[in-house]
Amino acid sequence: MIPPSPACRTEVARRADYRAFYENYHELYLLYAQARIPWSTAAADVVSAAFDDIAFVWTTALSSPSAAALAWGLLRQQVAGSALCPSCRPACAHCVLRPAMADAVVLHAYIGISLSETATVMGLNRGDIGALLCGARRRLADSHRLVRAMSHMGLHVQEGGDGRGSC
């Protein structure tokens, strides 16, 4: 992707729709990046770069099925390039789960936003988020090490008859 010119970013940043998007999502994007990147200045830089990417494709995003989903993908891509995965951080979920599943865990269980808000931020519907979290619980329950990490994030696995957990 060709980097956006400063003039392009400035022009888009003046648009009311982009400013509203930025104001609605910046804080949660930053919380997500801080959960995955241990240095807050690096997290802020990554979020800033993601918003530069979003500005560059803003017109395309608005005509896409979900501007939020497109923007979330750009954020995820920027964060993944800088994220570390030590065993005590919520980012460890990203080592074993599909990206969307791990993102839902970080947003809902670690940051603590509602299912509806998680869905809105990721550009998905609430039912998809519920399914992602259920799948994450099952997958994480398969690994004793990750069950401990899950408890650090506030997720609690309810044991089912097969010992794998239930949703």
Coil, strand or helix at 159? coil
pLDDT (average), residues 109-129: 95
Q: What are the pLDDT digits (tens) for 120-154?
A: 999 999 999 999 999 998 887 766 555 566 666 66
Burial state string for 35-54 with b = 16 or more CB within 10 A and e = fewer than 16: bbbeeeebbeebbebbbbbb
Predicted pLDDT at 2: 44
Q: What is the phi/psi pair of residue 82, to 5°?
A: -120, -10
DSSP type of residue 64: S
Six-digit token string for 24? 């609605």
- pTM value? 0.77
For residue 88, the number of C-alpha atoms closer than 13 Å in the C-beta half-sphere is 1
